[in-house]
Structure 1
C-alpha cells in the first residue's frame, strides 16, 4: 500500500469520526425526544449488527428485529417504568425463535443494548447534560488512557484468547484516568470523592462491554460488527464500552443512588 493510500484511509477515518462526534454531541445537547430517537435508532442498528454477526443467514430477520428493538426502546420512555420494562425485553423474546444459532447470546446482548439505551435516556432526562458528559468522558478516557498505557508499558495480557492486544497495564491506566474524571466532577458538583470509585467501576464496566463484543466478533469470525461507518466499522465497535458503562449506571442507582452524595 502506498503512502498516499494510507493517508486517504486516515482522512476517511477522521471525517467519519468527526461526523459521529458532531451528531452525538448535538443529540446529547438537544436532549428530549430528539435524543430518545437518536438512541433508539442507534440501538436498533446495533441489534441489526448483532444478528448479522451471530447468524448471517437471518437477513430479513435482522432488519425486523432491529426495527422492533428501536420502536420498543423509544416507546419504553413514553410510558410508565412498570410498562416500559417489558418493552425492553420484548425484542429479546421476539428474536429467540427467529435465530438458528446464537439465540441465547442474541437475547442477552440485545437486552443489554436496550437497557443501556434506556439508562442513557434516563441519565440525560433526569440529571441533565453534565452527568451525561461525565459518563461519556469516563468511557472515552478509559479507551484513550488504556490504549497509550498498554502500548507504553505492555506486560501481561488481559484475555489474550479473545482480545490479544489488551493488557492489564492498559486496563489499570483506564481505571486511573476514569478516577481522575470522577475527582474533577466531584469538585464541580456535590457528589463527593466517592464519585472517583464510581468512575473506576464505570471504567471497568466499559471494558467488560468492549471485551464482550470482541468475544462475539471472534466467535463470528469477523473483524468489525459491520462496515456502516467508513474507517471505523460498526456502531457496536464504537459504542460497546458505552453499553457496559450505561448498564452499570442502572445498577448504581439501585445500590448507592445516583449521583452519589447529591440526593
Structure 2
C-alpha cells in the first residue's frame, strides 16, 4: 500500500461512523428532555467503562458496575430538584471506583487518574445536559459544531500541511498546523452564530476557547493512553476507537462552558 493510502486508510470507516454518531446525536439534541439526558448518561457511563478497562484491565466485572453507577448517577443528577445535591452525586462514582478497584500495576497513579477523570467525565456530561435544558437547541448545536469543526479542520490540516508537532511527547500525531486550523474553524463558527443569534465578539472568543479546551481534552486522554500503553480506549467505534477517543474533546469543551456560563453569563440568550 502506498504512503498516501496508508495515510488516508482510516478515512472511510471514520466518516461512516461519524455520520452514524451525528444522526443519533442530532435526534437526541433535537428531542431534548429524557432523550438527551439518557444518551449523555449512557455515553458517559461507557466512557467510564473504557477508562477503568485501560487503568485496571483485570477488573472487567467491576468496570461494568462502575459504568452503571456512573451513568445512573449522572442521569439522576440531571433531574435532581436540589442544586446542592448535584455535585456530590456526580463525584460519588469517583470515590466508589477508588475504593472498589484492585490496586493494579500502578496503584497510586492509576487510582488518582481514575478518580479525577471519572469526575471530569460526569461533570462535563452534566454541563452538556444543562446546556440543552437551559439554553435550547441553538447553543447546544453551536458547541457540537465548534468541536466537530475543530476536529475536522485539525485532522485535514494536520494530514495535508504537517509541520512541527504540537506536543510530541504526549500526542505525536498532532501538529501546530492542525491545532491552529481548529481555532480558525471555531472562530468562523462563532462569527456565524454571533451574526445569527447575537453575542458579538464574546461568542467568537468563547468558540476559540472551546476549540482549545476540546484539544486539551484530546491531549489529556492521549496522555492517559500513553501512560497505560494502549492505542485506543476501546474498539466500540470503527475508525475512531472508543467513545473517549471520539468525545474527549467534547468533555474538555463541556467543562470550559460550565465556567464560562458562570463568569460571563454565556450563552447570550436561550433561543431554541
Smaller-chain TM-score range? over 0.9
Question: Which sits farther off after the overlay, 91-100 or 103-112?
Answer: 91-100
User: Could you say what secondary structure the match of 1:128 adopts?
Assistant: helix
Q: C-alpha distance in 1, partners of 2:202/2:166? A: 27
Q: What is the aligned partner in structure 1 of residue 64 from structure 2?
A: 63
- 2:135/2:270 contact within 8 Å kept: no
Query: Which stretches in structure 2 are left out of the alignment for 5+ residues?
Result: none
Write out aligned runs for 1:175-194 (5 A). 175-194=183-202
User: Hey, what does 1:87 align to over in structure 2?
Assistant: 89
Asked if residue 109 in structure 1 is aligned to residue 111 in structure 2, the reply is no
Determine helix, strand or coil for the equivalent of 1:164: strand
Identify if the C-alpha distance between structure 1 residues 140 and 8 changes in structure 2 by more than 3 Å, giving closer, same or farther: closer
Distance 1:155 1:13 in 2: 23
Contact 2:135/2:269 (<8 A) preserved:
no
Cα distance change of structure 1 residues 206 and 11 upon mapping to structure 2, 3 Å threshold: closer
CA distances 1:107-135 after superposition (whole Å, capped 9, x unpaired): 11111100111001000011111101100
Task: Please state how far the C-alpha of 1:36 moved relative to its aligned partner.
Answer: 0.2
Match of 2:206?
198
- 1:33 maps to 34
Equivalent position of 1:97 in the other structure: 99
Which of 196, 200, 210 lines up with 2:218 in the alignment? 210
**Matching of residues 236-255 of structure 1 within 5 Å:** 236-255=244-263
User: Who is 1:228 aligned against?
Assistant: 236
Aligned residue for 1:171? Answer: 179
CA distance in 2, matches of 1:197, 1:9: 33
Cα–Cα, structure 1 residues 11 and 155, in superposed 2: closer, same or farther, change >3 Å?
closer
Please give the TM-score of this superposition, normalised by the length of structure 1: 0.92
Shift, 1:246, TM fit: 0.5
- Give how far 1:253 is off: 1.2
Counterpart-to-counterpart distance in 2, 1:155 and 1:14: 24
Contact 1:229-1:235 at 8 Å conserved across structures: yes
Give a deviation string over 1:17-58, Cα, whole Å, max 9, x none.
Answer: 332221111111110011101110110000000000011111
1:22 match:
23
TM-score of the aligned structures, taking structure 2 as reference length: 0.90
Does the CA contact (< 8 Å) of 1:48 and 1:66 recur in 2? yes
Contact 1:27 1:34 in 2 (8 A): yes
